[in-house]
Structure 1
Amino acid sequence: MSSPFDLPPQQPAAPAVGGHAEDRDTRPQYVLPLVVRLERTDPPARTDALETSARAVLTLLADPRVTEPDGEWAERVAAWEDARIRKVVRRARGGEWRRAGELPGITVTGEHGAEVRVFPPIPLDGWPKELAKLQVSGTDLDDPEPPGPAPEGRPVLWLNPDLEMSAGKTMAQTGHAAQLAWWELDDDRRAEWAADGFPLAVRTAPAAAWPALTDGHLPVVRDAGFTEIAPGSCTVAADHPAVRLRRP
């Protein structure tokens, strides 16, 4: 029986990541689904959800089912990375959350209780019914109190202070930024980060600091503009200490 988590047999994964934008557009398109648990009575704090979304993406990228050549999800992740990198965040509660948890994936819990489940990439138009029925728009969250300074030495995903995005959109963006940082690291640095549980912080950049964060010495997410913001908008800068050492 076929599954939305199976690659279509007529569309093998391409071997390389990257290439020209035109090439990526002509390849089979995939999306990485993420689902945040959003109960009516106990929603997660916004920053905790943003950080947990980023950690969920990293957890999937480091999973042996992705990293091993014959891993169960390796081919799908390669196909996804070789086309447009899309992530979509949906929300679930109660029975919806339980049913989502029965699909192949990984649930990551944040430092303050946020829960995000990440699934292996699926074809853009091939959402399983358990996820397709979940709401994607209107996912917004608040912080009970403003988050304090990021812990010293921890990678920071800096949000553009001039953009307003829903929590769901921002969760996808922090996931993108974490992935860009991951791509910059060598195997030893990746292993160290994974062994520590992918500690990171998400903070809004001071307006005066944003130009320096996006001057080319750090990976920066530039959004394709499918939803909420204009194409090419710089949304998040990935400030990992090891990346700073690698880039001039």
Structure 2
Amino acid sequence: MNSEATPVKDSPFRPERSDRDTAPQFVLPLVVRIERAAPPARTDALETAARAVLVLLSDERSQGGGEWAQAVRDWQDARIRKVVRRARGAEWRRAEALPGITVTGETAEVRVFPPVPLDGWPKDLARLQVSGTDLDDPQPPAAPAPGGPVLWMSPEVEMSAGKAMAQAGHGAQLAWWELSGEERAAWRDSGFALSVRTAAPDRWRELTASGLPVVRDAGFTEIAPGSCTVVADHPALRR
């Protein structure tokens, strides 16, 4: 389902003001480890961030009466904001000491934390920098695995790696919401296998008109409100 066409008018990814804007605002913090001598590859960082969001959503602490469940509900009742910050050395060790989950890719480490109030970040996360997350791929990414989930990034919108990581997380979350319980369980059992790739322009036009979930950014940072940034292409949603 295209998120702009969802029957729920008050979508958390719509740029227009809505009742969600009057609710207390929360943010999902993600911290990517970027050591000077060994920064992660950009695509791996995007994929690891997307998996981190899914791991947080599926964790038992985020479900039912779990210790993170209320924070997750409060976050999802408002705008679905995600902020990616960077850490290295002692900064990373302090971040690891806070409640959260570290997800590891081939070169990337991303730690995701339960949602916090927009103006209530823990001090060891608040002091981390948002800028400086410009990453590169040493080699062009290979073609995505046939038949697997793909988060297609827009070829029309330029984003920093940190912004793109947040958008990939949005795309993964939209796909998660659309899946049945059995489909979610199967994805979880696969280790949340997924690929993040930039679509070719012609393919992008097809994807945005396909009925698959589309992230339209609210325009808080970097890009214009309403920009289409990601299409979530999960096999179970290709109906």
TM-score interval (norm. to shorter): over 0.9
Distance in 1 between residues matched to 2:107 and 2:187, nearest whole Å: 21
Moved more, 125-134 or 214-223: 214-223
- Aligned pairs for 1:55-66 (under 5 A) are 55-66=51-62
State the SS of the aligned residue for 1:120: coil
Asked if 1:80 is matched to 2:75, the reply is yes
Q: What amino acid does structure 1 have at the position aligned with 2:85? A: R
The corresponding residue for 2:182 is 188
CA deviation after TM superposition for structure 1 residue 137, in Å: 1.6
Asked if 1:102 is matched to 2:97, the reply is yes
The corresponding residue for 1:70 is 65
> How many residues are paired up?
226
Identity of aligned residues (%): 70
Distance in 1 between residues matched to 2:72 and 2:56, nearest whole Å: 9
CA deviation after TM superposition for structure 1 residue 244, in Å: 1.1
- What is the CA deviation profile of residues 114-164 of structure 1, one whole-angstrom value per residue up to 9, with x for unaligned ones? 100000000000011100010002311000010010011210000100111
Give RMSD over aligned pairs.
0.9
The corresponding residue for 2:202 is 208
Taking structure 1 as the reference length, the TM-score comes to 0.89
Q: What amino acid does structure 1 have at the position aligned with 2:84? A: V
The corresponding residue for 1:41 is 37
Distance in 1 between residues matched to 2:210 and 2:174, nearest whole Å: 13
Q: What amino acid does structure 1 have at the position aligned with 2:88? A: R
State the SS of the aligned residue for 1:169: helix
Q: Aligned to 1:146, which of 133, 140, 145?
A: 140
Q: RCO greater where, 1 or 2, for CA within 8 Å and sep 6 or more?
A: 2
Asked if 1:160 is matched to 2:146, the reply is no
Distance in 2 between residues matched to 1:107 and 1:232, nearest whole Å: 31
- What is the CA deviation profile of residues 173-214 of structure 1, one whole-angstrom value per residue up to 9, with x for unaligned ones? 000000000000000000010011000000000111111100
CA deviation after TM superposition for structure 1 residue 22, in Å: 1.5
State the SS of the aligned residue for 1:238: strand
Taking structure 2 as the reference length, the TM-score comes to 0.93
- What is the CA deviation profile of residues 77-123 of structure 1, one whole-angstrom value per residue up to 9, with x for unaligned ones? 0110010000000000000000000000000001x121000000000
Distance in 2 between residues matched to 1:153 and 1:43, nearest whole Å: 30
Contact kept? 2:86, 2:132, Cα under 8 Å: no
Q: Aligned to 1:133, which of 127, 135, 139?
A: 127
Off by >6 Å, runs of 4+ in structure 1: none
Asked if 1:239 is matched to 2:236, the reply is no
